[in-house]
Structure 1
Amino acid sequence: MNRIDLALFVYGTLRDREILEGVLDHIVPQGDLFEARARGWRTVYYPDRFYPALIRADQWAHGFVIVGLDGRDMKRLDDFEGDEYRRGAITVEARGGTLGAQSYFPSKPVPREAPPWSFETWTELHRPQTIARYRSDDFCQTHGNGRDQ
């Protein structure tokens, strides 16, 4: 499938290359993944979850931009994010400039007072159980990560 002209801003668990590349079922070239930040947003805990949501705030949300994705990649990412997120437009700063991108936003209201979420804390406290869940047969059947393909 052809690459499409789309930049995707990821701010949560998809910043983890093992998860990202597992969902996509291919390696992301180093040049297609770079640091970015979005002004006017804050990364918080999604209600009753250990993964994040992006909400409006007078702050910066940090993450990565991924380029070079194709339609199959976007379908896999949409399936991975499920009904809890919707994809929409966002403006980010990356590589010394401003870039229009897409990102995943919570599909239900998230309280403004939700506690802040950080990738570093998630990595320390929740990554092992997330990876174990990702590697489980149930996840593979639901999301088709290529293990049995």
Structure 2
Amino acid sequence: MSEAAFFYGTLMSSDVRSRVLGGLFATNESLSMKLGALRLRTAILKGHRRYALKGREYPGVIYTGQEEDQVKGLLCEGLFSEDVRRLDAFEGDEYKRCNVEVTPLKADGQKEDTTVNTQVYIWTEGNEYLKPYDWEFDTFVKDQQEKWLQDRDQLKDVDELDIALTEAADH
């Protein structure tokens, strides 16, 4: 059975998503198959707000319960349990995976009439890390993404999972 996740930060980037879901040892062929099996749609998460975080290049989303608060992001469908393990490792202890509903957007930007059950990673490390403004995806891609992807610490937990899985398969 496949699963879905709502991405609202660095995972909206195809480069980051490829690296996290493809893994440390992905071949071009396996990566192409993995990413080709995913369905990606722009969607809205209501009752939540995204914030830039102090001392971090990535954002956090918190639940507000306010209908007017909403986060625009990317609904990723077609994930498997292995993918969710990789996402859990990537997000780490600062986030908690929660079930939510999102509303996909049509190509013209209008909301669809249906909602989709999915999962989202909610920021849990405290409001003292929240900056008083939204995180900017375009700024991340333009100014930080390349350096961020080369920083082994950003992907350390995902890489360690890859190494452990590879070692287990070799035995």
State the TM-score, normalizing by the size of structure 2. Answer: 0.72
Q: Deviation of residue 45 (structure 1)?
A: 1.4
Tell whether the 8 Å contact from 2:97 to 2:119 is kept in structure 1 after alignment: yes
Q: Deviation of residue 134 (structure 1)?
A: 5.1
Matched, 1:132 2:150: yes
Match of 1:37 in 2: 44
Structure 2 alignment gaps of length 5 or more: 23-30, 106-111
Letter in 2 for 1:38: L
2:6 partner SS: strand
Match of 1:108 in 2: 125
In the TM superposition, 1:1-149 aligns within 5 A as 4-25=1-22, 26=31, 27-29=34-36, 32-55=39-62, 56=64, 58-95=68-105, 96=112, 97-111=114-128, 114-133=132-151, 141-144=159-162
Identity of aligned residues (%): 26
Letter in 2 for 1:83: D
Q: How many residues align?
A: 144
Q: Deviation of residue 118 (structure 1)?
A: 1.6
State the TM-score, normalizing by the size of structure 1. Answer: 0.81
Tell whether the 8 Å contact from 1:86 to 1:104 is kept in structure 2 after alignment: yes
Q: Deviations over 1:66-95 (max 9, x none)?
A: 111111111011011111111001221115
Structure with the higher fraction of residues in helix conformation: 2
- Larger mean CA deviation between 87-96 and 129-138 belongs to 129-138
Tell whether the 8 Å contact from 2:40 to 2:77 is kept in structure 1 after alignment: yes
Please identify the structure whose Cα radius of gyration is greater.
Answer: 2
Identify if the C-alpha distance between structure 1 residues 63 and 142 changes in structure 2 by more than 3 Å, giving closer, same or farther.
same
- Larger mean CA deviation between 22-31 and 75-84 belongs to 22-31
